[in-house]
Structure formats: structure tokens, C-alpha cells
Structure 1
Amino acid sequence: MPAEVVTQAMTARTVELVAESPFYIPMTGPAARPRRSLKHDDTFIVLDSHGDIGASAGGPDGLFNADTRYLARLELVLNDVQPLLLGSNLRDDNSALTIDLTNPDVYRDGRIVLQKDMLHIVRTVFLWRGTAYQRIGIQNHGENQASFDVTLLFDNDFADLFEVRGERRPRRGVGTSKLLGPTDVMLEYKGLDGKIRATALHFDPRPTRLAVNAATYHFDLAPQQSSSLFVAASCNKPAPFKPVPFFRGLLAHRREMRQSTRGAASIETSNNIFNEVVCQSMADLNMLMTDTAQGRYPYAGIPWYSTTFGRDGIITALQMLWIDPRVARGVLKRLAFYQAKTTDPLADAEPGKILHEMRGGEMASLHEVPFAQYYGSVDSTPLFVLLAGLYVERTGDEETLVELWPAIEAALRWIDGAGDPDRDGFVEYQRASEKGLANQGWKDSYDAIFHADGRLAEGYIALAEVQGYVFAGKQLASRCALRLGKTDQAQKLEADAKQLAERFEDAFWCEELGTYALALDGAKQPCKVRASNAGQLLFTGIVREDRARKVAADLMLPHFFTGWGIRTVARGEARYNPMSYHDGSIWPHDNALIALGLGRYGLKHAVEHVFKGLFDAAAYMDLRRLPELFCGFRREKQRGPTLYPVACAPQAWASATPFTLLEAALGLEFDVQRGEIRLRNPRLPAFLNEVVLRDLQLGPSSVDLRVRRHGDDVSMEVLRTRGQIQVSIVLAH
């Protein structure tokens, strides 16, 4: 191809990206310092490794509440210079961040007046009930008295989260700052939506000097003497607001975190690194959980998705179902409460649809973005039905089923009605407003759904995996209907699922690819692209047995499987890019659902490969924390995986992935009616010689199990039981 043609093609692709991706998250440069995050309910904070906000480039720093930034700068300086970093550590339970600093050489009139490494400065930060608490402890380890100033520089812009992400606004509201006394400052903003948003800063003890953007303390510390100061930044608290004392709040926060995890099963293994991965995952999930009026809900991720997301919450709850089914109950009740009742094109809402995303910021309030309550996802609704069925089978909770049944029926009506506008039997989407998302499956990048030649799919699009969700959802809803004595409805749902599976095989199978099409476009033409969506079909059970093995074999070939995991799009496809968001990267949750599907069809050897790849990737990750996604480059010897620069970490369904992989490997099944837990074709990967599951619950009973690996086989030992419960290994081929 001539060079000028290549240039034109690249230019066209660039223009297409800008035009079609209004909510793209830009990455303009590298982070000057690593970032750390904390969250409590609707509030989260992003700080750099020094404990500062806004002091270094390249990060979405700030204290955020309900999609608004309440503090854009909080920087500590020592005699007008930045201290030196010794170390920065999150507590294992994510309850607090501790940063150790020291002083550089401090000069006055060309002479050193404070030699480096004489002061030990410890910053401890935690979030609780809408307030960011910070203690700054300082000790003089020098042989002489140390005289110095510590200044906290602070400011705020009350930016909407979408502004922080890169959206530009022609107009903004008005901000003000005022002193409320010798220890308190109030930062306020009157938005264009008429709401007043306020940040209250409280300093203890009284600063030597206090201004509307700085608090300065002068210290004269004798050798070995120490001192402390405290600052609290509160979101939308009444003035004057006095926060609880630092240590009392920290202890209460940790006590609440411990209480919230009681009742969940615990995991111990023979592999210390995997234990660290599991502990980090559970700590991250606990941090992302948010107490709502309907129950606890896992917010999707920090920083960009710390809110209620339908798809993310459902899949996270599904991944955690075996370890803590209470999460699913909270998710289902909240999404049923916000289920769409009317038609609203701007919000992509239609009666029966399940929420995609909620936002509480100024831009959502003004409809500058459509996400105040946004329903632009094609998969949240069938996934809601699917999760409801799985939850009832896991728990036998018919009381909750009765409560949810009207929402399940409304979701089913949408699936068969507005969700299938041309009545061809497939659920499909096309955005109702140009402000909405162009693609409405989990791969929602503008360029994620395309044909073999790279052309983007147009018109109403039927995604492969969504038909699988509908199939599984209707089968599970049929069994729920039987529980409720609705025999005719149960038979119809089961018949509908069977017919869908037959139509699906005819429309989506691509014999020349040996796998299923990514999607059908508006002209019912298949997008003949090898994509991981076919792997998720295995999880739903819609795939024929013989074709399941072909799909699995394809997923394990080098064009898909990198050694770290399975790519979203196979190498060699038209839009394949290992550094893209959805067209060649590796998503842990995607691999987790694929692993469940591989296990469903008895392909445990493939499960082991996926499990090991993601475990090895996690071992290289900061904090042993699997991120939202990472790049899809081939694994190289003695090198870790390549990170994706703006991936959320922590991210709920990525954090839940280790639990799903273990579930797939062990083949865990729960039969409430028979009081039995089954391990179907269990197989542990080579890096796990032993797994102990404690307090694995089934109804009112629970059990502690030990599973040991013996080559490709396992043995099981029941360590303790409470109540009536049976545990068995099922070997079926």
C-alpha cells in the first residue's frame, strides 16, 4: 500500500475515534508518582505515593463523593520543599494508607540548617462516613533541636468526575473559600444545577497560620521529641462540622470492616503467593462494597466507576455466589428497585430494562452526560434474570424470589418485547440517543464490534454472548417459576430457551472459523471475528457439546491464549491491538467466566491453563492485585505482563476473579434441596497442592473442607460440619 494511502487510512481511523467516543478516558502522560486508593461507601480518595493530592502529574487525584471532587489538592511541604519518600503501604484490609517520609537537606542562606534524614514523618490516611482523616506524626531523630515549618497546601475545583476524565464544559458554577475560625476552612461551590457542594477542613491543633488555601505549623522539636497534627476533609457536612477524633474513627472503621465480612467463606492454600492474591482480592471487594438502601452493592471500580453499575454488580455477585451469596441479594434488590418503568430515549430506558449506570454529579444532573440513571446496556437485563435464578438455586431463598418475581417477569417481557425489536428471537441493541453508548455489551468501546474486514457493525446488533445469557436466564427462570407453582409459565420458558439454542446455532456458528460469530449486524450478517465472546457462551451452556470442544481448543491456541490469559480478540483479526481496551487486551473477569464455561463442559485441563496464567500475572502485579485489564502481548520468559495505563485498580469483577477460577477448578455445585455440596471433576493446578475452605455455607449448615492434589486427581477431607450437610466428589466424563 502506498505511504500516502496508509496515512489517509490512519487519519480516518483517528477522526472516527474522536467522533464516536465521547466518554473516552484519555491518557496524556505517565504518572510521576504511583497512586493509591481508599474507599468507604460513596466516597473515595486517590493519593500519590507521598500521600499528596494534586502534587504530581499523571493521576486522577482527589477526594470524591457522588461523582464530584471535593478536594483537588492537599500537599505537604517542609520549609517549602517536598519531603523524601521512605515507603508507602496500604493495610492488608485496605482500612488505611500509611506513608513514611523524611526531610531532605534544608538550607538557609546557603547553609544546611537541617541535615537530611533527621525527621521521620508518618502520614496515616483513612476514609469513614464521608470524611478523609489524616494524622501527620513527626519525630526528630537528630542530636540537635530541629526548627522547621510544615505546611499543608489545599484547594478544590469541585470538578465533576467526567471533567476529571477529560470532558470539557463551556460553563461552570461559582466557587468560594472562607475561614470559619482559627481551625476551620470551608470550600463551597454553587453548581449550574443549583446545588451547593461544600468541603469542610478541620485542623487540630490550631495551626500557627491559617489561610483559605494553606495551614502552617511551626515546630521546635528537641532530640527524639515527637508531635502530631490532624486534618479532616469532609464532604457536604454542616458548618461548623467537628469530625470524631482520629483514633476513635479509625477503630470504628476497622470494626465495621471486620463485621461486614463475617459469614463469608474463607480460603487458605499451600501457596503463599496465591494466599496473598486471595487476601488482596477479598480486601478490595470489601472496600468496593457500598451500603445502600437496598443492601450491600459492589461498586465497579476506582477511580472511574465507583458507583452502581448493573452489569458489573451482577457479574461480581455471580463470581462471589459460592463464597458469599448475600452480595447477590443486595445487587438483585437494588437493581429491581431501579428497574426502568417508562420509556426515555436519552437514558435508553424501556420498561423492564435493568440499570446500566448511576451518576450523582452536576453533569448528570444537567443531562450533559446521560448517566444519572442510564439503561444503555443490552446484557444487564438477561444477566439480572440469570443471577436471580442462580441465587435461588444457591440459597433456596424463596422469600427473596417472591419479592423479586415481578422484576424478573418485567425483565423477561423486555427480553421478548422491546429487547427484540424485529422479533427474530435475538436480543439486540441500537442506542436511542446520540449521547448514549454506541456499543452496549460489556465490550462497549466504539470499535469493539466489527466484521472480518474491520468494518464496524451497524444497525441493531445481536451479540453472541447476550443470546447465551438469555438462554441461561430463561432456563433458570423456568425453574424459579416451578418453585412458585407457575407450571405453564415454567414450560413456556423452557421451550423458549430450547428454541433459542436451535436458532442460535444456525445463525451464529461459523464453520470456517470453528467458532461462533462475535455478533449479527442490523442486516443479520455475522461478524466473523474470533473473539472471547464465544468463550463466555460456554459459561451459559447454550453451546452444543461437539462445538464446545472446538471453541475451547481455539481459545487455547496462541492467537488467543498469551500465557497470561485469553485475549478479547484473537491475534490476526482486523482490529486486533494488544494495547486496546477491548480488541486484544486481557480482562481477568472475561477469563473467569470462560473458565467456568470450560469447567461446565468438563475441560479441566484448559481451566488449569487459564487459572495458572492469571495467577502468574497477579504475582507480578502491584499488591498482587489483578487490574481491570492488561495488555494482550505474548508472555516472554522472565518478564511480567504489560499493564494498561488507565485500568481501574481495584476493580470489582477483576478482584472476584481468583474466587471464580477456584470455583471452576473445584467444580463447586450447591444443592440446597438435598443439602449437598458437590465437587464435579475437581482438578487443582500444579501451583496448588492443598486448598482449605472454611465456613462454606449451604442453607443453615456449613462445612470446612480440605482438598489435596495428587497429580491430576484430588482427595477431599471434611474437617468440620455444622448442621446437616453432605459433601461428595462427582467424577463424570
Structure 2
Amino acid sequence: MADASGDVTGEGDGLFHNDTRLLSTFRLLLNGQHPALLSSAVSQDNAFFTANLTNRPLPPLGESSMPEGVIHVERRRFLWSGRLHERVRLTNYSDIRTRLPVQLLFGADFRDMFEVRGQSRSRRGEMQASQCGTDCVALRYHGLDQVLREVALSFSEQPQRLTAQHAEFEVVLPGRESWTLYVEVGDASTQPSRERWRGAAARTRWSLRAHRRRGARVRASGRLLQAWIDKSEADLALLTTELPTGPYPYAGIPWFSTPFGRDALITSLQTLWIDPALARGVLAFLAAHQASEISTFRDAEPGKIMHETRKGEMAAVNELPFGKYYGGVDTTPLFVMLAAAYARRTGDLAFIDGIWKELVASIAWIEDNVARHGGLLSYARGEATGLANQGWKDSHDSVFHADGSSPRGPIALIEVQGYAYAALHGMALLARRRGDTEAATHWDGAARRIARKVEDEFWMEELQFYALALDGDGRACRVRSSNAGHLLYTGLPRPQRGRAVARQLLSAAFASGWGIRTLPTGTSRFNPMSYHNGSVWPHDVALCAAGVARYGEREGALKLLDQLFEAATFFGMRLPELFCGFERALGEAPVAYPVACLPQAWAAGAVFMLLQVGLGVQIDAMTPCVSIDRPLLPTGIASLQICGIALPQGRLDLGFRRVGSRVLAFADRGPPETVLRIDVRL
């Protein structure tokens, strides 16, 4: 994380690895001055950052003074295999020979990510003596967790002066000539060179391209829509790390560049139809890290699925519970939901057999929790260090009564009941495929009981909506919220009630013009600038769109796609984690939320869920059948193709074309009809 010039200033920026800031200062100066910024950008595939700078007036060499704007400075950098690679190239576009004192200032505070975010600590580890060579320097820190952390800076040219704080080069640059410096920053010193730079750069670009080519590709006739799709693909590729268990999308940059359970599960649901391999990697990782013991500090209970894992010093010494933390009430049912959806999408029952023990443990935790909390899946943190609210709206003030007062726990959130309902039905489906009809009947019955409980206790007849939550006294938090859209996504509500909720989610109270707000205007804690109480979250909008479409509001769901698309054009075709929920004004951009993660995995995945909802595509590899139900294209888009949909029977290409007022669907290529059935309803 750096500013537009490529400098790290020590505020919220830096070079981070495993939740530790390795570089807290990294600044380029010419003769002690900051170069003037011309432009900077990240490449479309997220591989490279490039800043174009120029000199301010330089002191004379002999009798001539170097004027401003004749030295071009290009800083180009990328990350590969745990190392920062940077190339600094100076080009003299004048005919005047000049001497340029070039300084690189650097420093490492080795602060934990939570310290950078503002967490205070009573004590820290100790900085160790730095080690300086002729062309490299190593900075070191011994943490309270007894881990020695080291960062080494290596230079392709030998500096005239090198200390633990800066490297200085005296560059004599003839007219019309260039000078290049290669810098590497990592855990050990190296010998940077043009060859090392080119080789690592090629591998970086190849790796990102391989991630993008893993799933089906989406091709739209509209240039701007295609740019949004391409950037979303590139962001998911950037955030996806290859773990021993398979690909895993880290949640977001900068604060959440680590495995999160909820974020990865929802991202996988968003992209399952085009890239099931991501879901498989997420399921395998979360199954391997399932809780097996009780810990109130970590909010862990046997069978629960992980919410978050961290590798920094503060987590290692238990200053915070997030080394491996289970304080998410929704991750466990979402894990089971995704497993059932993955099996239906791929027919990969062998993989399901491999994680069956973990699925059974997860559903047992759900049923035990439901039994302990009066028939509803509920949460209450074990210790004060844990998260107070443990649904996706996990800020401290996101759950409240209609008068604004805070409820007493345990809390049963409305969307979590839907997840539990879908998880139980999903387990019943998998059990039937495994020939266990007795277990399937049991889980179907448990799902129906939760549905009845929700209809009886959450429905607010006078508001024609579901309450946000029930508190520990069984009192409803009589607040309308976007959480109910997630309930629609699971299919729990009765048809009439579901349609009533869908209409309200699309109404002016929820609508910002850029998507559905998390709360409607007029709610006691409504604040369009808040994190969860009136803002717009793209992933939330996508789940609500899928929910309202399920209850007949297809056109409304398409309108939400159009609105997020228009919002993306103001954010450089990259939707942030969230943005403010102010009402849309003619000619004005959506208002950014100042500390939103960018990119964020489930924000990047939103476009793919929205497209699936609009196109009406469902893939069932168990049948096997691909169904297309009354496809709709985004406004202004004449045609769209989905190329290379992976099926057990082979690859399938689908095309959609607008003809008059209708959208026609067709298969461009695919397995023989005797192997795969394609049902189209126009």
C-alpha cells in the first residue's frame, strides 16, 4: 500500500506480509526533494504499479541549471513469491549533462496489522541491530512471540552511502540517456538485476492469467460492462492465494488480506456457476480448520467453521483471539450450503465424501445450537475480546431495537435462520445421494421446523416484513433491513410474504439509486455514512437481487445490476467493499466510504451473481441439466457469451442475444444432447 507516487509514508500504508508491516517508510527523493507526480496506475491485470514522475529544478552542474520537467522518473513495481520488486528508471530528455543525487529513504517498524489499524499495546518486542553491506541492508525485529522478523533491501547498483535509514546514489546522467536501478525487498538479501526482474515479472503475469483462465469467461458486447467484468476477474485473481488445500480468495486489501470464512464462502457462492474450483478450495481449507474443542476466548465449539485467521505477533501471543477465531454464527451454515451447492453444480460426490465427517460435525453444531436457543440459530460471544455481533453486519451497533436500544443476547439474526434452513435441506439432499434416507428425512424435518419458527416469530404483519433479529428475551428487533433479502435468497419465506418483502427492498426507502441500502431511511440508527446502518454493500445488493428474483421480481433484480454497474463506472470499474448510502443525485458520483477495502473479494464477485440472476442460469450436474429461465440482459447490452462452462460431460458455451423485446439463448458448443439436457424458458 503506497501513495500515488509510490511512496510509503508510515500512516496506514506499508509493505505487509503475514499481518506484519515490514516497510513503514519507502520514499524516493531527487536531491532531497519529492519528484512531481505526473500520473500513476495499476495495470488492468493487477500485476504492476507504475508511477510517472518528473524532476523539480535541480542545482547547476558547471554553468547550466537543470530546469523542471526534463528528467522522467518511472517507478514500476510488482509482488512475487514474497518479495517486492521495483525498477527505478531515470531518463534525461534534455541535452544537458546533469548530476542527480537520488535517495531512497526506508524504515521498518514491524507493527502488527491491528496496531496499524489503531490498536494500542502495553509493550512490544525489540528492534535488533541492522546489518549493512555494500549493496544491501537488513532490518530486524524480535517479537514477543519469539519470532525474529527480518526485511532485507537489496540494490542492483552500489550506493555511495548506505545506512539503516537510506541509500544514496550519485547519478551522472548525460543528455538523452537513462539510468536504471533494480530494488528487491524480502526476507533475505539478493542480487537484483534486469534478468531477475524480467523473469519474476513474467511469472507474476502468468500466475494472474492462470487464475483468471480457471473458470468460464464472460464476454459482453458493451465495452464498459466488459471492463467491469474484466476488473472483477482480475481482482479475484489478485486476492486468490494457492494454499495446499487449493485456491482461496482472501477477503480484501489492506485490512483483510487473510482467509476469512464468511467472505470466502459467499464469494464462492457468487462465482460457483462459472468457477466451481474456487468453492472446492474454500471448502477443503475450512474443513481442515474446523473447530474441535471449546474455547470461549476464540468462540470455538466442536463443529464450528472458522471466521478468521491471522499470523501476526498479536494473534500469536493471544493479545487478540484472531489467530484462529470462530466468532461467526453464519460461517457454519454457509459452509454446508456451499457444499450442497457445489455437489449440485459439479456432481463431485467423491470430494463431498472426503469432507463428509466435517459436514456432519457442522450440522450437528447447528442442531445443538438451535436446541439450546429455543429453536433458532443464535450467538453470544464467549469473552469481551470477541466480536459483539457475529453476523455479516458485525459492527457493534448493527443490531438494535426499533427505538435504537441495544438488545440483550443471545441474538438470532433473520438471515442466519435462512442459512440454517438451506444448510439442513442441503444436507438432506447429500444424504439422499449417499443412500441415507433416514438422515435425509431428519434434516428435512429440522429445516421445516426452523421455517415455521421464523414465520411465527419474525414476521411483522403490520410492516409486511421480517424482523432483523430476536433478542435473548425472545423480543423481536422490529427493524426492517437488507438482511431479509438474504432470507429470500435461501427460499425460506412463504410466497406471499416473500413477494411483499421483495417489493419493499426495491422501494424508495431502501433504494439509494446505486443499490439497496442496508437499512431504509427513517430507521432509528440510519446513517448513510455508517459501516452497516445505511450504507450500500455490493455483495449484499447481489444477494438481495438473487432473493427478490426468486420471488418474482426479475426486472427489479436487473435494475439493481444496472445500478451497481453505473456505480462501478465512478470507482474505476472496481466496486469497493462498501460506499455511502446517500440518495443518488443527477450528475453526481456515489459517495465513497473512506476506509473501505479496495479490492474486496465479495464486492468483486457481485457482478457474477448479478449476471447469473439476470440470465436465469442454473446448472445441475446431478441431473444433468442446464436451465435458462426468462433471460434478461443488462440495459444497453445487445449480446453476451459465457465461454467454457465446466461440466462433467465437457465444456459448454452459452450465448444470449437481444432480439426486439426478447432475449434469446442458445448453446454455441457443448456436449451432445444425449449427455446433457438444456432447458430454456423464454
TM-score (norm 1): 0.91
Corresponding residue number in structure 1 for 2:576: 627
Report whether the alignment pairs 1:606 with 2:556.
yes
* SS of match in other structure, 2:322: coil
Q: 1:255 aligns with which of 206, 230, 238?
A: 206
Amino acid at match of 1:656: G
Report whether the alignment pairs 1:133 with 2:82.
no
Deviations 1:224-268 (A, max 9, x none): 11110011110x34x678798111111122122222333311111
CA contact (8 A) 2:99 2:173 kept: yes
Report whether the alignment pairs 1:333 with 2:284.
yes
Q: Distance in 2 between matches of 1:274 and 1:726?
A: 30
Deviation at 1:175, TM superposition (A): 1.1
Report whether the alignment pairs 1:176 with 2:128.
yes
Report whether the alignment pairs 1:703 with 2:655.
no
CA contact (8 A) 2:66 2:96 kept: no
* SS of match in other structure, 1:345: coil
Q: 1:225 aligns with which of 168, 177, 196?
A: 177
CA contact (8 A) 2:35 2:54 kept: yes
CA contact (8 A) 1:463 1:518 kept: yes
Q: 1:214 to 1:700 in 2, by over 3 A?
A: farther
Corresponding residue number in structure 1 for 2:321: 370
Q: 2:545 aligns with which of 579, 595, 602?
A: 595
Q: Distance in 1 between matches of 2:658 and 2:477?
A: 42
Report whether the alignment pairs 1:577 with 2:532.
no
Q: 1:355 to 1:406 in 2, by over 3 A?
A: same
Corresponding residue number in structure 2 for 1:426: 376
CA contact (8 A) 1:192 1:362 kept: yes
* SS of match in other structure, 2:477: coil
Report whether the alignment pairs 1:204 with 2:153.
no
Q: Distance in 2 between matches of 1:410 and 1:359?
A: 24
Deviation at 1:184, TM superposition (A): 1.0
Deviation at 1:629, TM superposition (A): 0.3
Corresponding residue number in structure 2 for 1:501: 451
Q: 2:343 aligns with which of 382, 392, 395?
A: 392
Amino acid at match of 1:169: R
Deviations 1:269-323 (A, max 9, x none): 1211111111110000000001112111000000010001000010001101011
Q: Distance in 2 between matches of 1:538 and 1:711?
A: 32
Deviation at 1:655, TM superposition (A): 0.5
Corresponding residue number in structure 2 for 1:145: 97
Q: 2:3 aligns with which of 35, 48, 55?
A: 48
Q: 1:700 to 1:101 in 2, by over 3 A?
A: farther
Matches within 5 A, 1:642-653: 642-653=591-602
* Structure 1 runs not aligned, ≥5 long: 1-45
Corresponding residue number in structure 2 for 1:20: none
* SS of match in other structure, 2:663: strand
* Structure 2 runs not aligned, ≥5 long: none
Q: Distance in 1 between matches of 2:660 and 2:375?
A: 46
* SS of match in other structure, 1:346: coil
Amino acid at match of 1:397: D
How many correspondences in the alignment?
679
Corresponding residue number in structure 2 for 1:31: none
CA contact (8 A) 2:132 2:164 kept: no
Amino acid at match of 1:53: V
Amino acid at match of 2:481: A
Corresponding residue number in structure 2 for 1:304: 255
Q: 2:271 aligns with which of 302, 305, 320?
A: 320
Deviation at 1:730, TM superposition (A): 2.3
Matches within 5 A, 1:481-560: 481-560=431-510
The more displaced of 260-269 and 589-598 is 260-269
Q: Distance in 1 between matches of 2:526 and 2:92?
A: 57
Q: 1:659 to 1:112 in 2, by over 3 A?
A: farther
Matches within 5 A, 1:666-685: 666-685=615-634
Deviation at 1:523, TM superposition (A): 0.4
Corresponding residue number in structure 2 for 1:351: 302
* SS of match in other structure, 1:188: strand
Q: Distance in 1 between matches of 2:237 and 2:130?
A: 37
* SS of match in other structure, 1:47: coil
Corresponding residue number in structure 2 for 1:72: 24
Deviation at 1:107, TM superposition (A): 4.0
Q: Distance in 2 between matches of 1:182 and 1:248?
A: 25
Q: 1:96 aligns with which of 24, 45, 48?
A: 48
Corresponding residue number in structure 1 for 2:427: 477
The more displaced of 367-376 and 677-686 is 677-686
Q: Distance in 2 between matches of 1:672 and 1:459?
A: 42
Deviation at 1:485, TM superposition (A): 1.2
* SS of match in other structure, 1:126: strand
Amino acid at match of 2:6: G
Q: Distance in 2 between matches of 1:700 and 1:311?
A: 31
Corresponding residue number in structure 1 for 2:140: 188
Deviation at 1:477, TM superposition (A): 1.0
Report whether the alignment pairs 1:694 with 2:643.
yes
CA contact (8 A) 1:665 1:683 kept: yes
Q: 1:162 aligns with which of 108, 114, 118?
A: 114
Deviation at 1:722, TM superposition (A): 4.9
Q: Distance in 1 between matches of 2:111 and 2:65?
A: 41
Report whether the alignment pairs 1:661 with 2:616.
no
CA contact (8 A) 2:656 2:665 kept: yes
Deviations 1:116-169 (A, max 9, x none): 111111111000111000000111000211211111000010000000000011
Matches within 5 A, 1:407-418: 407-417=358-368
Q: Distance in 1 between matches of 2:223 and 2:552?
A: 28
Q: Distance in 2 between matches of 1:700 and 1:293?
A: 27
CA contact (8 A) 1:602 1:681 kept: no
Corresponding residue number in structure 2 for 1:113: 65
Deviation at 1:220, TM superposition (A): 1.3
* SS of match in other structure, 1:598: helix
* SS of match in other structure, 1:669: strand
Deviation at 1:367, TM superposition (A): 1.1
Corresponding residue number in structure 2 for 1:406: 357
* SS of match in other structure, 1:101: strand
Q: Distance in 2 between matches of 1:185 and 1:398?
A: 53
Q: Distance in 2 between matches of 1:290 and 1:329?
A: 13
Deviation at 1:675, TM superposition (A): 3.2
Deviation at 1:562, TM superposition (A): 1.1
Deviations 1:470-515 (A, max 9, x none): 1111111111011111110011111111121111100100011110
CA contact (8 A) 2:502 2:547 kept: no
Report whether the alignment pairs 1:729 with 2:655.
no
CA contact (8 A) 2:156 2:191 kept: no
Corresponding residue number in structure 2 for 1:6: none
Corresponding residue number in structure 1 for 2:404: 454
Q: 1:103 to 1:584 in 2, by over 3 A?
A: same
Amino acid at match of 1:678: S
CA contact (8 A) 1:471 1:542 kept: yes
Report whether the alignment pairs 1:440 with 2:395.
no
Corresponding residue number in structure 2 for 1:85: 37
Compute the RMSD of aligned alpha carbons: 1.7
Amino acid at match of 2:588: R
Amino acid at match of 1:638: G
Deviation at 1:108, TM superposition (A): 6.0
CA contact (8 A) 2:212 2:234 kept: no
CA contact (8 A) 2:538 2:603 kept: yes
